[in-house]
Amino acid sequence: MTDRKCGAWLIGALGNISAAVIAGAALLRRGLAEPLGMVTSIPPFQGLDLVTVENIVFSGCDIRQGRLQDSLQQLLDGTGAIGPEKLASIREDLLKVESTFVPGTCRNCGPAIESLAASGNGEDFHLREEISSFRHRLREFKREHGLETLVVVNLASTEPPVPASLPSEDLDALEKALDTNDGSGLRASTLYSYSAIQEGCPYVNFTPSTGALTPAILRLARKRRVPVMGNDGKTGETLVKSVLAPMFVWRNLEVMSWEGFNILGNMDGCILENPQNKSAKLETKDLALSHILGYSPHSRVHIDYVPSLRDQKTAWDFIHFRGFLGAGMSLQFVWQGFDSLLAAPLVLDLVRLAEFAQIRGEYGLMPHLASFFKAPLGVRAHALHEQVQLLTDYVRKVKEGRAPE
């Protein structure tokens, strides 16, 4: 196994997912947890020269102030996960990581997110200034820890959809907007991804925020030869959807309606109370179905904030379908999963795989990571088994010493 070190810079570093990522890595390092939920721990990845979880160094930024320990406590309560003694043993680890956090930006993230910000939304600064400060921080962190690679992962709350605009379509227009401090067509996520890529840091957009990987930004990634991937981590209801939907295709059963109702109570759910932010989320959630089926049944996805559930996302899906002689039948499912604990191991996977891609000289989109995302960029495969195939094909080719196409 390699002894390479790798940095992971988390945007939204005080959030639930980040807390689970950092604590989970610390527990794994101390042998106090199993790598359940981590895709890169299953047999196909054995023998692949990925950076070890032990060798990942964490930092990040957040617009809020708070304690990682508190996020963690709140998150774990009622999960039946890791007990208090084990948590106590990583308290120092968390404090150490937390001490490296810096304030984030929420430029153009809308009132739902801005209301969380400890200080202003960043508009007092020139865009170039913000970028420069962020890039400086990334550079410093790499230097301090002697890191060859620093993967930036966006785990922040969902922004409103990015407006159609020249700066999101065209790289020159983006550069010009930055020069003239015209932030109207940008979001915080754009500033982050722009900075990361300019610093040569692989960038993973685990959120549905569409500002992170616009056509202009993708152009920049190719130009700067940096690997990037998104959008929106696939952790729960959409995951189940992407394994169930192909069954209807294979059995020639016509899906008439597929209704989904999600309730959750964490910060993510709270931000999605705001219709603007919710619309971005619903866009990515609803994509897979019609792609897999080849037609669009009646389908709506509802998300509702139910505080008492905290991190336990609960989803009810009702699928109404027609079979032989037109008979109507149904399949319902209820998913009850801890959202952050489903997301966190995937983040560790993505850091490992993004680092690996950069080491290997790959850049631009990483389509082999499609299975991790609700709306994978540059990939037509939406059925989970096809996406998994992309990943195992990649691994096989790498092992065979061939460059993946």
Cβ nearer to a second copy, comparing 48 with 253: 253
CB of 301 to a second copy, least distance (A): 11
Using CA atoms, how far residue 178 sits from 127, 163, 252, 357, in Å, is 6, 16, 51, 29
CB of 317 to a second copy, least distance (A): 9
Cβ nearer to a second copy, comparing 264 with 366: 264
Between vectors from CA 204 to CA 201 and to CA 209, what angle results, nearest 5°?
125
The yes or no reply on residue 403 touching a second copy (CB under 8 A) is: no
CB of 324 to a second copy, least distance (A): 4
Indicate left, alpha or beta for 66 from its phi (over 0: left) and psi (-120 to 50: alpha). Answer: left
- Count the site residues for a second copy by CB under 8 A: 77
CB of 387 to a second copy, least distance (A): 9
* Torsion 247-249-255-258 (CA) sign: positive
Nearest to 9 by CA among 202, 246, 190, 178: 202
CB of 104 to a second copy, least distance (A): 24
Indicate left, alpha or beta for 333 from its phi (over 0: left) and psi (-120 to 50: alpha). Answer: beta
Binding-site member from 48, 102, 173, 247 for a second copy (CB under 8 A): 247
The yes or no reply on residue 270 touching a second copy (CB under 8 A) is: no
Show contacts with a second copy in window 82-101 (CB under 8 A).
82-84
User: What DSSP designation does 90 have?
Assistant: T
**CB within 8 A of 112, min separation 6: which ones?**
157, 270, 271, 273, 274, 276, 277
The yes or no reply on residue 295 touching a second copy (CB under 8 A) is: no
Binding-site member from 128, 223, 322, 396 for a second copy (CB under 8 A): 322
The yes or no reply on residue 336 touching a second copy (CB under 8 A) is: yes
Stretch of 47-55, 133-141, 150-158, 383-391 contacting a second copy, by CB under 8 A: 383-391
Cβ nearer to a second copy, comparing 174 with 343: 343
The yes or no reply on residue 239 touching a second copy (CB under 8 A) is: yes
Please return the burial class of 43, using the count of CB atoms within 10 Å of its CB with bins 0-12, 13-18 and 19+: exposed
The yes or no reply on residue 369 touching a second copy (CB under 8 A) is: no
In which element (H, E) is residue 103 found? strand 102-103
The yes or no reply on residue 330 touching a second copy (CB under 8 A) is: yes
Using CA atoms, how far residue 150 sits from 49, 99, 141, 273, in Å, is 17, 18, 9, 33
Cβ nearer to a second copy, comparing 130 with 339: 339
Q: What does the CA dihedral 221, 110, 376, 197 come to, rounded to 10 degrees?
A: 10
The yes or no reply on residue 353 touching a second copy (CB under 8 A) is: no
The yes or no reply on residue 67 touching a second copy (CB under 8 A) is: no
Cβ nearer to a second copy, comparing 106 with 239: 239
Cβ nearer to a second copy, comparing 77 with 179: 77
Give me 207's structure tokens: 């959120």
Stretch of 99-107, 207-215, 274-282, 309-317 contacting a second copy, by CB under 8 A: 309-317
